[in-house]
Structures are given as C-alpha cells and as structure tokens.
Amino acid sequence: MAEVPLVDAIALIRTLPCLADPGKIIVIGESDAALDGVLPLLNAILPNVISYHPFAGVMTLRRRPGLITLYPRQVMITQVADVAEGLALLVAMRDLLNRAWARRDEIQPRPEGRHVPRPLDIYELLPHTNCRACGEATCMAFAFGLLEERHQPEACPALADPTFAAQKAALYHMLAGLGGAASLQPD
C-alpha cells in the first residue's frame, strides 16, 4: 500500500513586497494539512533550521536567498523573484515535507526549540546610517544579509570605527551560531 502524503497541496494565497530585497516578493501559501507534526522531524534532519518554536509550531529555515517560515498551516517564503518561482518553491516545500513525513519511523525527532537572532536584533547593533557602502539600500537590509550569511560584518565600513567596537563584538557573538561570522571573528 502506498504511503499517504502528509500534504497534498500548498496553495498560494498571497504575495507581498519583500522589504529585505526590493523588487522581490514574499510568497504565502496555505497547506491543506497541519504542519506542526513534521517540524520535529525537519528539526532533526535539516542543517538550515535557524529557529524552531515547538509550542507555537513555527520553524524558520535559511534559503539562499531568503528565509522560509513554516507555521501550523502556512508557508512564507521571502526574496522570491516572481509568482512562478514562488509556486515552484511551494511545490518543493510540499515535497520536502512529504519526504520527511514518509521517513518518520526512521528519523529521531528533535523536539527542542532553536533560536537565532532576528533581523531586528542584528539591526540594533548596526550604525543605522543607511550609507549603502555595504551594497544594501538600508542597514535593515544589511541585517537580513548578515542573518542569511550573504554578508559578513566587515562589509559595513562604519563597524571598523572604534566607537562601534562593542557593537561589533556583540554582533560577532550573536552571529557565531550561524557558522559564517564565527570563523571570521577578530582575535
């Protein structure tokens, strides 16, 4: 007997402008099944889980570029080029969820939560100059880039100023859990 998939479809219900990457969109899809039961499995097998809140049934995954957030019945994907790409990503998410669900007897679930900094946490440590020297339009967009590991703190020239030494150290500490910035932390 064939395995019954967890999710038959994730329907596109809305798009929004993407603040982190002007010109791109955020895609929001609605699942025909509850997703919270598969999240501990994904937490165990995916290396790109950056946040998991088991009591709320919410998980955020890093993708390049952007983020994917899974809610109990919705999927939100940032930095999507257009609706066609968004639809393809929703199908890929459905397939990923179903593959994990099909292997639920083989995977040791990881039910504990995970947390990495939010873009606003990172933004608070930046100089707020919106100088564009990093290549981003705003310091908030740069914060998203740091979280997504598209940028390193050195890309912000203002952080080299000694008056920002404490913020820079705190930023490296905050990003250490993501992997990329930890290996570049100054001595």
pLDDT tens digit string along 43-98?
999 988 888 999 999 999 988 888 999 999 999 999 999 999 999 999 999 999 99
pTM for this entry:
0.68
Q: Are 177 and 122 in contact (CB under 8 A)?
A: no
Which residue in 112, 175, 113 sits closest to 143, CA to CA? 175
Helix (H, G, I), strand (E, B) or coil at 184: helix
pLDDT at 1 (0 to 100): 57
* pLDDT for the residue 99: 97
Could you please report the per-residue DSSP string of 26-82? EEEEEESS--TTTHHHHHHH-TTEEEEETTTTEEEEE-SSSEEEE-SSEEEEEEESS
Domain, as residue range, for 80: 10-102
Question: How do residues 128-178 score in pLDDT, each as one tens digit?
Answer: 999 999 999 999 999 989 988 889 999 999 999 888 888 888 888 878 756
Domain end marker among 43, 75, 102: 102
pLDDT by residue (tens digit) across 85-136? 999 999 999 999 999 999 999 999 999 887 777 888 899 889 999 999 999 9
Domains held by the chain: number: 2
The answer to whether 78 and 70 are in contact (CB under 8 A) is no
CATH number of the domain bearing residue 129? 1.10.15.40
Q: Is it true that the peptide bond before 65 is cis, omega within 30 degrees of 0?
A: yes
Q: 96 and 126: one domain?
A: no
Domain end: 42, 74, 102, which one?
102
Which CATH number is 45's domain given?
3.30.310.10
In a domain, 184, yes or no: no
Domain boundary among 102, 135, 166: 102
pLDDT value for 185: 38
Contact residues for 4 (Cβ-Cβ < 8 A; gap 6+): none
Do residue 98 and residue 124 come from a single domain? no
Both 21 and 49 in a single domain?
yes
Question: What was the pLDDT predicted at 163?
Answer: 84
pLDDT at 187: 35
Q: Does residue 55 lie within any of the structural domains?
A: yes
Mean pLDDT of the chain: 89
